[in-house]
């Protein structure tokens, strides 16, 4: 359950980082 709770949190951060790199 812990992993599932962190999954969305990590996915959100990963997607945001990818967008930042693409924007750069």
pLDDT of 19 above 80: yes
pLDDT cut 90: percent of the chain above it? 0
CA 3, 8, 9, 14 dihedral sign is: positive
Q: What is the pLDDT of residue 1?
A: 61
pTM of the predicted protein model: 0.34
Neighbouring residues of 23: CB distance < 8 A, sequence distance ≥ 6: none
């Amino acid at each position: 359950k812990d992993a599932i709770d962190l999954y969305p949190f990590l996915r959100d951060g990963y997607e945001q980082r990818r967008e930042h790199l693409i924007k750069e």
